[in-house]
Amino acid sequence: MAIENHKKRALDGQRPHWEKTYSENPDNFGADPSDPAIKAARLFKDQGVTNILELGGGQGRDTLFFAQNGFNAHVLDYSDTGVQAINNKAKALGLTQSITATQHDVRERLPFPDQAYDACYSHMLYCMALTTDELEFMSSEILRVLKPGGINIFTARNTNDSHYGQGIHRGEDIYEVNGFAVHFLSKAKIERLAKGFEQISVEEFEEGDLPRKLFYVVTKKPHLSEAHPQSPLG
């Protein structure tokens, strides 16, 4: 479903909203790592992952956790304020050798060569103000920059969430609640976004006081010898 022009302008206007949020609250999501990051780190260690690309790192709570646990993390975020916060925290904690933070719009090509990373991680980026076409492009870029066998872990609020269908409809399954536009994902849409990947798992979990209902998704880039990856949700 196409996004009408006025709705697209509303989605594009999310950047100043995030800049304001991050400026007013240095730890908007808390200082502790998220549960998905803790779970992802265990899998990354089991799989021998060294270099992680984190997309939508916010103010760095998961980025710092990864670096403190022996990973090298290159984190991208839409917000200049968020990137600056990550760099400041990395410097204060002596983690600048393990963390690189850069401002980037994931609707554009990722600024990395093919097969540059062992893994990609993002917590709730997939449910930001991104259309399905933009999410498909982002997913194809993640596939491009992952090494064969590389892991992509992401979370997203799902269509069972109590905020789904509430607030201002911004097209597709995107609803704006309290100024934040959220794209709620169904399992069918996750399958669409997993094109080119092998699916390892899709799990449901809850987070926060509402609570928010999310999917925790793990996908893997096929090795070069695997010409026919399994069905995404098979």
Q: pLDDT digit string (tens) for 155-186?
A: 999 999 999 999 999 999 999 988 889 999 99
Q: What is the pLDDT of residue 8?
A: 57
Q: What is the pLDDT of residues 185-219, one digit of tens each?
A: 999 999 999 999 997 899 999 999 889 999 999 99
Residue 19's pLDDT is: 56
Q: Is residue 225 part of a domain?
A: no
pLDDT at 200: 85
Question: What is d(CA 60, CA 54) in angstroms, rounded to the nearest whole number?
Answer: 10
* Residue 206 belongs to some domain of the structure: yes
Q: Which residue has the higher pLDDT, 134 or 234?
A: 134
The answer to whether position 234 is within a domain reads no
Q: Supply the pLDDT for residue 21.
A: 63
In tens, the pLDDT along 101-150 reads: 999 999 999 999 999 999 999 999 999 989 999 999 999 999 999 999 99
Q: How far apart are CA 232 and CA 217, in angstroms?
A: 11
pLDDT tens, 55-68?
999 889 999 999 99
**Per-residue confidence at 25, pLDDT binned at 50, 70, 90?**
low
Q: How many domains does the chain have?
A: 1
Query: Model's pTM, two decimal places?
Result: 0.86
Is residue 226 in some structural domain?
A: no
Confidence band, pLDDT 50/70/90 cuts, at residue 1 = very low
Q: Look at residue 20 in the predicted model and tell me its pLDDT.
A: 58
In this predicted model, what pLDDT tens digit does every residue of 72-112 receive, in sequence order? 999 999 888 889 999 999 999 999 999 999 999 999 999 99
Tell me, yes or no, whether 96 lies in a domain: yes
Range of the domain at 14: 5-220
pLDDT over 70 percentage in the chain: 83
**Is 108 inside any structural domain?**
yes
The CATH number linked to 112 is: 3.40.50.150
pLDDT band per the 50, 70, 90 thresholds, residue 12: low
Give yes or no for residue 225 having a pLDDT over 80: no
Q: Is residue 229 part of a domain?
A: no
Q: Which DSSP state fits 51?
A: E
Model confidence at 229, in pLDDT bands (50, 70, 90)? very low
Residue pair 51/121 in contact (Cβ under 8 Å)? The answer is no
SS (H, E, C) the chain: CCCCHHHHHHHHCHHHHHHHHHHHCCCCCCCCCCHHHHHHHHHHHHCCCCEEEEECCCCCHHHHHHHHCCCEEEEEECCHHHHHHHHHHHHHCCCCCCEEEEECCCCCCCCCCCCCEEEEEEECCCCCCCCHHHHHHHHHHHHHHEEEEEEEEEEEEECCCCCCCCCEECCCCEEEECCEEEECECHHHHHHHCCCCEEEEEEEEEECCCCEEEEEEEEECCCCCCCCCCCCCC
Average pLDDT over residues 1-11: 55
231 lies in some domain: no
